[in-house]
Amino acid sequence: MPTLTFTDCDFGEKISWKLDGKSVWSHLNQANQYAVSDAKIGESKMATAAEHIGSTTETWESVKPKSKKEFIEAHEKRNPGKIDQAKKRIADRLKLMTKQLQTLSGMDIEKSTADHQPHDLVGQFVDDLVSKGYTGKRVEQEILAKEAGAEGYTPASAEMEKQNIDGIINGETYSVKPGKYSEKQIHELGTDVVITYNLSFDKKTCLVTVNYQIHRFTKR
pLDDT number for residue 54 = 92
Mean of per-residue pLDDT scores for the chain = 86
In tens, the pLDDT along 104-152 reads: 455 555 554 444 456 678 888 898 888 888 999 999 999 999 999 998 9
Which residues sit opposite 212 in a β-bridge? 197
In tens, the pLDDT along 164-217 reads: 999 999 999 999 999 878 888 888 999 999 999 999 999 999 999 999 999 998
pLDDT number for residue 101 = 62
210 Cβ neighbours under 8 A, 6+ residues apart? 3, 4, 5, 6, 139, 142, 143, 197, 198, 199
How many Cβ atoms are within 10 Å of 152's Cβ, its own excluded?
A: 11
In tens, the pLDDT along 32-46 reads: 999 998 888 888 999
